[in-house]
Copies of this chain bind each other. A is one copy, B any other.
Amino acid sequence: MMLKKNPSDKKIVFVDFEPIGRRVEIAIGETLLSAAQSAGVELISICGGVGSCDSCLIRLVDGELSPHTKIEKEVINSEALTKGFRLACQAKPLGNVKVDIPPESLAAPQRLQIEGQYVDVEVNPIVSSIDVQLEAPSLSDLRSDATRLLTAVEEQYGNRLRIYHSVLFDMSKRLRNQGWGARLAVRGSNIVAVLAPETKLLGLAVDIGTTKLAGYLLDLATGETLGMMGAMNPQISYGEDVISRIAYTNDHPEGRATLKAQLIDTLNGMVSDLCSEVNVSSDQIVEVVMVGNTAMHHLAVGLPVRQLAVAPYVSAISESLDLPASQIGLHVSLGASVYLPPNIAGFVGADHVAMILATDVWQTDRITLAIDIGTNSEITLAIGDRLLSCSCASGPAFEGAHIKDGMRAAPGAIERVQIIGDEVRTFTIGAQPPVGICGSGILDAVSEMLKAGLIEGRGALSTDDPRVHGEGAERAFVLAPADQTGHGRDVVINRKDINEIQLAKAAIRTGIDVLLNECGVKYAEVEDFIIAGAFGTYLDIESAVRVGMFPDLPHERFRQVGNAAGTGARQMLVSADRRGTATELVERVEYIELTTHAGFQDEFMKAINF
C-alpha cells in the first residue's frame, strides 16, 4: 500500500466514505469519526465519541482498520462484527480504507441528497464500448483514418458505423498515440469517442435546480455512481426565482447568453472537480443527461424563455432533446451528447418527470401523490393508469426568501424548532450559533407556534405572550435572542413571515386538493405520499401536516426521497429503456392548469387559514 508522508512526518491515508463518494486524507492514528468530521460527513455521534452508544456505526468495505476495541466488542453484536461493522469513534485506519455509512448513521441527509450508490435499474446505456486494433497505414494501404477504423469495426463486429464529426478533431492523433488500438464509444450507429484501450466509459447526470445544481458521475458499463457533487446555481445573482430570471433575459439582449454561460461554466467546474476526485479524464464522459424545470432546461440549452412567463405559459419544446454537448459548451468528450427528457408543461419540467420515474410513480398500482416542493411545486397523482399533474406557485419562502430572517440551508441556519413550554429549542446546520432560518426551520417554527397557541387561525400573532415583541409590522416572535445568535441580533418570525408560509402551504394544499377532487379520491385513500427535493427531505412531516400543507395521513404513508430527480436522471443515463419510459409517461400525463381551473380560487382561500 502506498502511503504518503505529511510535513510533520505522520503517515497520511485516504478514507473513502460510501455511498457519498467523499474522500478525505487523514493522518494515521485518527479515528474514522474524526475523518468524517474533516470530510464534512455528518455521522451521528450521540455519546460524543466516547463509545457508549452505537450511533456512529459504519461498515468496512476495503482496507484495514485498527483491531476491535473492548468497547466495540461490547456494543456491536458478533454477527455484525463479522460483517465488518465498526464504531467510527473507535476504529482507526491503518492504510487507505473505504467504509460504508448506513443511512441510520447519517446525522442529516446531505445537503446534496445522496441515494444509494447503485441506481436501481437494469443497465443498458445508450452508449456502449467496443474494442478495436487497427493496422497502421502504409504506402500500400492509404485508407483514411476514418475508413480504416470503420472498416475494422465492420470486419470485427459486422456493423457499419459512422463517426461524429467532432470525434475527428483528435482521432488521428489518438489512434497514432495509442498504437492504433482503441476503445470506441458507440451510440446507435455512431462512434462518439475514440479512447485509449481499457478506458472506462463514463456518464454525467445533472439536476439543474433553480437554486442548486447536483452532478453525478457514473460508470456506464456498471451503472455505479463514482462521484457526486453539489453547487449553487450561479444564475441566482440574476434572479432568485425563475420569473425574475426570465425578466432579466427580457430586459437584456445578451441575457439568455449570459445565464447560459454562467450555468455552463459552473457545470464545467463541477465536471472538472468530479473528474479529479475520481481520478478520471473528462474525455471519458461520453453521455450526459440533464434534468431541470422547464425554464432551467430552456436556459441551459439556449432556448427562449419569454413565452414561459406570459399566459398561457407554453414551453418552446416539450419533446425530449438530444444534442451535442459541445453545442452548449460542456467540456466533456468532444462527441458526447446531452439528452434532455421531455417536459410536461411550462411549469412542470423534466426534473419532475425524472422524479416520477425514479419513485416508480409511473408504474405504481397504489393511489400515490408525489410532490416536488420548491419556489414552484409540482404535484402528480397516480391512480390506476392515470397520471395527473399540476404546478403551484408556492413561492420562495421554503428557500428562505421573502422571510425576514430567512436564509438558505447553510451553516448557522435554524433547521429545527421545538417550543416546549417557555423554552424555544433551535437546531442549526453545522451546530453553529443561529444566524437565520431555512425552510424546514420556518415550517417548524410556524407549526410549533401554532401548537403553543402563539398564532391564531388566520395567522395573527398572539397578543399576550411575552416572547412576542414589537408593534405593527415589527411585531415578531423571537426564536433565538440576540445574545445567542451568531450576529448578535434576534432571529425572529413576524406576521409577514407567517403570511408567506400561509400562501405557500395554501398553494400546495390547493394543488393536492384539486388533483384529488378531479379523480374523486378522498385523503384517506392516498396510499403513498412521496416528497422529493432538498426541502422536502428536511421538512418535518408533522409540522407540514399541522400547518395544513399536507393532509393528515398516517405517518408511514409519507416517504421523503431526497433528490429523486437526480436519481431519475441517473436512471436515464444508464438505461435507454428508462428514456423510452419517460417519453411514454409524459404522453400519459393529464396536465391540470390550476390558474384556469374552476374552483381553484375557492379552494385556495379555504386553504389559507390554519
**Chain A contact residues, CB within 8 Å of chain B:** 137-148, 150, 162-163, 165-166, 168-173, 176, 301-304, 306-307, 311-319, 321, 323-324, 326-327, 343, 345-346, 591, 593, 595-596
Q: Which residues of B contact A343 (CB under 8 A)?
A: 144
Cα(A312)–Cα(B139), bound, Å: 5
| Minimum distance in angstroms from A269 CB to a CB of chain B | 23
- Are B345 and A145 touching (Cβ within 8 A)? no
Cα(A528)–Cα(B166), bound, Å: 41
- Are B316 and A171 touching (Cβ within 8 A)? yes
| Minimum distance in angstroms from A342 CB to a CB of chain B | 9
Q: 27 interchain pairs (CB within 8 A)?
A: A139-B311, A140-B596, A142-B312, A142-B593, A144-B317, A144-B319, A144-B343, A144-B346, A145-B307, A145-B316, A145-B317, A146-B316, A146-B318, A146-B319, A147-B317, A147-B318, A147-B319, A148-B314, A168-B303, A169-B304, A170-B304, A171-B304, A172-B303, A172-B304, A173-B304, A173-B306, A324-B327
Q: Rank and list the top 10 A-B pairs by shortest CB-CB distance, nearest first.
A: A146-B317, A144-B318, A144-B315, A165-B323, A172-B304, A139-B596, A139-B312, A172-B316, A137-B314, A168-B303
| Minimum distance in angstroms from A251 CB to a CB of chain B | 16
Cα(A173)–Cα(B316), bound, Å: 10
- Are B307 and A176 touching (Cβ within 8 A)? yes
- Are B143 and A314 touching (Cβ within 8 A)? yes
Cβ 8 A contact of A345, one of B142, B304, B346? B142
- Are B593 and A321 touching (Cβ within 8 A)? no
Given A169-B302, A327-B165, A143 and B307 contact (CB-CB distance below 8 Å): no
| Minimum distance in angstroms from A331 CB to a CB of chain B | 16
Given pairs A141-B312, A144-B314, A162-B319, 13 additional interface contacts (CB within 8 A): A137-B314, A138-B312, A139-B595, A142-B345, A143-B314, A145-B315, A145-B317, A165-B321, A169-B302, A172-B303, A172-B307, A172-B316, A176-B307
- Are A137 and B312 touching (Cβ within 8 A)? yes
Cα(A593)–Cα(B143), bound, Å: 12
| Minimum distance in angstroms from A314 CB to a CB of chain B | 5
- Are B139 and A303 touching (Cβ within 8 A)? no
Cα(A123)–Cα(B303), bound, Å: 34
Interface centre among A169, A301, A317 (most CB of B within 10 A): A317
- Are A142 and B306 touching (Cβ within 8 A)? no
Q: Which residues of B contact A146 (CB under 8 A)?
A: 315-319
| Minimum distance in angstroms from A348 CB to a CB of chain B | 10
Interface centre among A144, A146, A302 (most CB of B within 10 A): A144
Q: Which residues of B contact A346 (CB under 8 A)?
A: 142, 144
| Minimum distance in angstroms from A562 CB to a CB of chain B | 29
Name the residue on B nearest A176 (C-beta).
B307
| Minimum distance in angstroms from A190 CB to a CB of chain B | 12
Cα(A343)–Cα(B142), bound, Å: 13
Cα(A304)–Cα(B137), bound, Å: 16
Name the residue on B nearest A145 (C-beta).
B316
Q: Which residues of B contact A162 (CB under 8 A)?
A: 319
| Minimum distance in angstroms from A587 CB to a CB of chain B | 11
- Are B142 and A313 touching (Cβ within 8 A)? yes
| Minimum distance in angstroms from A145 CB to a CB of chain B | 5
Cα(A57)–Cα(B137), bound, Å: 57
- Are B595 and A144 touching (Cβ within 8 A)? no
Name the residue on B nearest A328 (C-beta).
B165
Q: Which residues of B contact A165 (CB under 8 A)?
A: 301, 321, 323, 327
Cα(A304)–Cα(B165), bound, Å: 12
Q: Which residues of B contact A345 (CB under 8 A)?
A: 142
| Minimum distance in angstroms from A590 CB to a CB of chain B | 12
- Are A314 and B142 touching (Cβ within 8 A)? yes
Q: Which residues of B contact A147 (CB under 8 A)?
A: 317-319
Name the residue on B nearest A171 (C-beta).
B316
| Minimum distance in angstroms from A585 CB to a CB of chain B | 16
